[in-house]
Structure 1
């Protein structure tokens, strides 16, 4: 059945491509956060173990929301690790580490990369692709990442 939601198929496809990159970033950040949750050690273990688990839960919800937004626009969702690694702006963790400060710094950088990507797409989605719904959606995601980044940043002071 043909979709008629007031956004051209070409624009929906362009938005879905950008959202697929976002989903890849979200999934890689989720994985980084679970790594921190599972591997953190030190005097602050319990606190950070709980913090990383809480943020991983928030990221899991974000992953699902982004995937559902792509489907809402009538497109398939990339759902393999290979696809995510090809689409992401983030890098996988490369050095073994176990202290919370190192994990927090790495997660903070990843959140900030996603925030910049989201901020760069808000007006693009609304103005060029005529998709105010996705523009509003990514604005909310950006605010969520800003809050998680603020919480991480506060731990580094």
Structure 2
């Protein structure tokens, strides 16, 4: 490598590799987007009832269409050993903060933690989707048509109210 590449002439590496920095920046941007979405949702539901006029989230619609026992089981699984989804999210945040507070920044440890959190969310979404598709597979064609009409109506209602 040359000095242009960021490495000294003697071949000794200093700092993080460029791909690690890029991956860390992308991961941070994604997490900030998720935090922004969560903060937006919290603000939306705080205080006065706001009139946001947008179609419902597909994941939320899928979740609401499942029976109460399936939803409870999925919530318990999402909480893992922490007991609840909220407690799990707090524990995840505490682990990230602990990594950030160390004197020596460990990018690999942070990336591993963020990957683990993303994998847990992905696993939950897959379980949710599988449960929903199983429910749909059990429906008669007419039931599925009625369900599709309800979903279309929800989206149309939200879209029609948008400014």
- TM-score (normalizing by structure 1): 0.32
Larger radius of gyration: 2
- TM-score (normalizing by structure 2): 0.31
